[in-house]
Amino acid sequence: MTLTFPVLYRDDHLEIVDKPAGVAVTDGRDARAADPVIARLGLLLCHRLDVGTSGVLVLARTPHGQRVVSDAFSRGAVRKTYLALVAGTPPDSGLIDLPLGEWKRGRVQIGRGRPARTRYTVVERKGARARLLLWPETGRTHQLRAHLSSIGAPIVGDEDYGGPAASRVYLHASQVALPWPDRGETVVDAPEPSGFTL
């Protein structure tokens, strides 16, 4: 299989791409190992996006780049913004501060485990659906999906967490702000995919 990702940013150490929905970034056995498609491109994984999530994916062209970026993610120094379509009527804005546990049978345990925090704001409403901007303050598996489900606003297409069926999971990593030594912050945006309208 040959797959190319639209490149949003490239330098000597990094290649930041726009991952389409439906593409795996890990090999399915080891969450730290890049999917063979990515590995064949000669790139190294710095973080993950779920299969159903589209948008900004930071990959490394060198082991040094991978170390610097992975360290920034582990320190919480990377700022990420997501766009989601949800079914439900969440408050206009808020902080979801709810721990998340182990991944079992396609879901994470909600309400126990490691601390997890997500800030959000509603940018548009129509009936019982809304468009949200999300800013995860931690980086847990399925964090945004589980947190939105916990407030009665599951993501459209995310049937694992109670969302209505759709052609895809309507979650998009729209921006990443990444610190880099001696260069300051690099901000990269991914264009909004079609269909993210109410």
Alpha-carbon gap, residue 80 to 174, rounded angstroms:
8
Reported as half-sphere exposure (CB side, CA atoms, 13 A), residue 197 has a value of: 2
Alpha-carbon gap, residue 110 to 18, rounded angstroms:
29
Positive/negative CA dihedral, 160, 166, 168, 171? negative
Tokens matching residue 11: 């330098």
Q: How far, CA to CA in Å, does 149 sit from each of 21, 26, 98, 139? A: 20, 24, 11, 17
Tens digits of per-residue pLDDT, 54-89?
A: 999 999 999 999 999 999 998 989 999 999 999 999
The single residue of 18, 50, 158, 160 carrying the catalytic annotation is 50
Positive/negative CA dihedral, 168, 73, 95, 197? negative
> Is 50 assigned a catalytic role?
yes
Domains and CATH numbers, the chain: 7-77 (3.30.70), 80-172 (3.30.2350.10)
CA angle 105, 107, 112 (to 5 degrees): 115
Q: Which residues of the chain have pLDDT under 50?
A: 1-2
Tokens matching residue 116: 């997890």
Can you give the pLDDT at residue 28?
61
